[in-house]
Structure 1
C-alpha cells in the first residue's frame, strides 16, 4: 500500500504500510540492522496512539515533520537515545516517560540495544485541543501551554514514571480488542489530566553526555562486538579510544544501560544462542567463537543468562 504524504513526513519516505483501516494503520521500517513495526490507532481527531516494536539500531526521519505536535512517550522495554540541539544526549529506558515537542526539524532515533517497546501518544495541538474541550469541558487544560511548561526552553522533558502514571501506561499494554478504541480515549484523557498536575520542578536531574563522548562509546561498542573472540581490558579500551577510564565506564552505562562487562557477557550469550539454533557446531566450538576457551565456564555463564544449559537450550529449540 502506498504511504501518504503526511505518513512520510512523520515516519520517513521509506515507511511501508502493512495494513490500513478506518481507525488502524500498521507501518514497517527496515534496514540492514533490523526492522520496526508501528501500530497506530486513530483515537480522536488529531490524537493517535502508537505501539512501537523496534528491533533495529536506528530509524532515520529524512523529511521535515510538521510542527505543532505534542508527543507523549512511554518506554516499556529497551532504550532510546535523545539528542538535543546543543549536541548533548540523554537516554530513555524502562519505565521512563517523556514529553516531546515537534518543531519541524529532521531527526534520527537511535536504539542502543536494538530493542525498544513502548507507546507514543501524538497530539496535533490545535485539533486535539478541540477534542479535549469536548470531553473535559471544565478542566481548563491548554495543550500548548502544557507542552511549553513541561518542555520549557528545550523540546524535550524526560522523567521516571511514578506509581500513578506508571499504572495508567501499564494498562495500555493489555487491552481486549473489542474495547480498545473507547478504552484508549479514557486513558489518553487520564494521562493528559495527570500531566497537567506536574510542575516544572518535577523533572529529574539526569546525566547528559556530549556528542564526542557518545561517539567514542559507540566506537568502543563496535570494536568489542566485531571482535567477540577477544577479551579487552577496560584499560586497553580507555587508552585506545583516548577517554578517561572513569568517564568511559560511566558513559558506557549511560548509553547502553549496563557496564561493559555485563553488556559483553549478555551479547556473547545472545550470539551463542543464535548459533546453537542455526548451526550444528559443537558446543565447545561455539564457546570458542564467543570468546570462551573453557567449555564449562561458557556453559555456566550461558545458564546464568539464558536459564538453560547450552545443551538443554538446543534440545528445547529442536
Structure 2
C-alpha cells in the first residue's frame, strides 16, 4: 500500500477506505486494541497535512519514521487523548486543549483514550519544506517557520495549551464542512493557526504539569481497580499505601490522565453504569444502587438525578417507552 506524507503507518492501517482522485484526502481505517478508529488525512499545502481523527477505543499504537524537523499540532474536540513520548513524558489533552510536539519525540508511541472516546484534529508541519514553499500569507509576514521548533519544542520539550476561545475559533468548524469548501477552508484555517502560534508568548503560557510514564502506569492500575468492583470504596490514603505513591501525586496524576478528581470521576462512572443497568435489565432500583456502590437508595437517587437530570424511575420509564416505540415501528 502506498501512502503519502508523514502518515506512513507500519502495520497499523488495516485498509485505505477512501482516496480522492486528486490526492487531496485519504481515509484510513485503523486497527485498535478494543474498538475502532479512523483518520482522514488532507494534503493542504506542500509540507502541511491536516487530519481528522475519530476513535472509540482505549488505545491505538503508531510507528513512523523519526522525522527530525517535523512538528505535530493536536486539538482535542471531544473526549480525551494522551501520548507517551520518546522522552518518557506523558501528555494528555481534554476537550478544547491544544498540544505541540516534534514527531521525532513520538516515533513509536501509543495514543491512549482514557474515556474511550476521542474526536480530534491534527496538523503536521514539515518545517524544512514549508520554509522552501511557504503558504502565500506567510510570505507577507516576518514569520520564520523554522523558529517554531526552538519556540515550542527545543530539547524534546512539548507544549499543552488549555482550552481558550481563540483555539476553538480556529478548529470548531472543521469537522462539519461540506466537501466543496474543505480545501479552501482548511488552507485558511491552517494559516490562521500558524499566525496564532507565532504570536504566542511561550514564557507567559501556564505550563501543564508533566507526567512520567511510571506514574501514569500506576494510575491506570488504580483506575482499573476502582472500576472493577464498584461496591468497594477505597480511600485516597488506602490507594496511596497500596500502590506506593504519595497522595498528592495520586490525585494530581489521576486528574491529569482522566480529566477529573477521583471522587468526581467515580461518582459519574457509577451513575452511568447504573444508567446502563436501568436501560438493559429489570433489576430493582435498590439492587442496582448496591451494584454501583450505594447502600442507601435515597442517596443513589439524589446522585443519579443530579447527573442525569431525572430520577432513576423516570429514566427507566423513558427508555422503556423509547424501546416500545422502536419495536412498534419495525
TM-score category, normalised to shorter length: 0.7 to 0.9
Three-state SS of the structure 1 residue aligned to 2:306 is: helix
Three-state SS of the structure 1 residue aligned to 2:231 is: coil
| Cα deviation digits, residues 160-218 of structure 1 (max 9, x gap) | 25433432222434434432221111111111112122234144232123333222211
Partner of 1:218: 220
Bigger mean CA deviation after superposition, 142-151 or 231-240: 142-151
Partner of 2:327: none
Gaps of 5+ in 2: 324-330
Three-state SS of the structure 2 residue aligned to 1:153 is: helix
Partner of 1:14: 12
The verdict on how the C-alpha distance between 1:283 and 1:40 changes in structure 2, with shifts beyond 3 A counting, is farther
- Structure 1 residue corresponding to 2:281, chosen from 269, 275, 279: 279
Partner of 1:308: 310
Partner of 2:149: 147
Three-state SS of the structure 1 residue aligned to 2:238 is: helix
Three-state SS of the structure 2 residue aligned to 1:61 is: strand
Bigger mean CA deviation after superposition, 265-274 or 24-33: 24-33
Report whether the alignment pairs 1:51 with 2:52.
yes
Bigger mean CA deviation after superposition, 19-28 or 213-222: 19-28
1:263, distance to aligned residue in structure 2 (A): 1.1
Distance 2:7 2:191 in 1: 26
Q: 8 Å contact 1:54–1:116 — kept in the other structure?
A: yes
The verdict on how the C-alpha distance between 1:222 and 1:315 changes in structure 2, with shifts beyond 3 A counting, is same
Bigger mean CA deviation after superposition, 173-182 or 90-99: 173-182
The verdict on how the C-alpha distance between 1:287 and 1:131 changes in structure 2, with shifts beyond 3 A counting, is farther
Gaps of 5+ in 1: none
1:65, distance to aligned residue in structure 2 (A): 5.4
The verdict on how the C-alpha distance between 1:86 and 1:178 changes in structure 2, with shifts beyond 3 A counting, is closer
Partner of 1:194: 196
Three-state SS of the structure 1 residue aligned to 2:295 is: coil
The verdict on how the C-alpha distance between 1:284 and 1:161 changes in structure 2, with shifts beyond 3 A counting, is closer
Partner of 1:163: 165
Distance 2:252 2:7 in 1: 36
Partner of 1:4: 2
Bigger mean CA deviation after superposition, 132-141 or 95-104: 132-141
Partner of 1:228: 230
- TM-score when normalising by structure 2: 0.84
Q: 8 Å contact 2:41–2:50 — kept in the other structure?
A: yes
Partner of 1:260: 262
Q: 8 Å contact 2:33–2:59 — kept in the other structure?
A: no
- Structure 2 residue corresponding to 1:114, chosen from 87, 98, 116: 116
Distance 1:176 1:233 in 2: 50
Distance 1:98 1:119 in 2: 11
Distance 2:96 2:288 in 1: 35
1:274, distance to aligned residue in structure 2 (A): 2.4
1:11, distance to aligned residue in structure 2 (A): 4.0
Q: 8 Å contact 1:158–1:203 — kept in the other structure?
A: no
Partner of 2:95: 94
Distance 1:195 1:271 in 2: 41
CA RMSD of aligned residues (A): 2.7
Distance 1:24 1:63 in 2: 19
Partner of 1:237: 239
Distance 2:280 2:66 in 1: 41
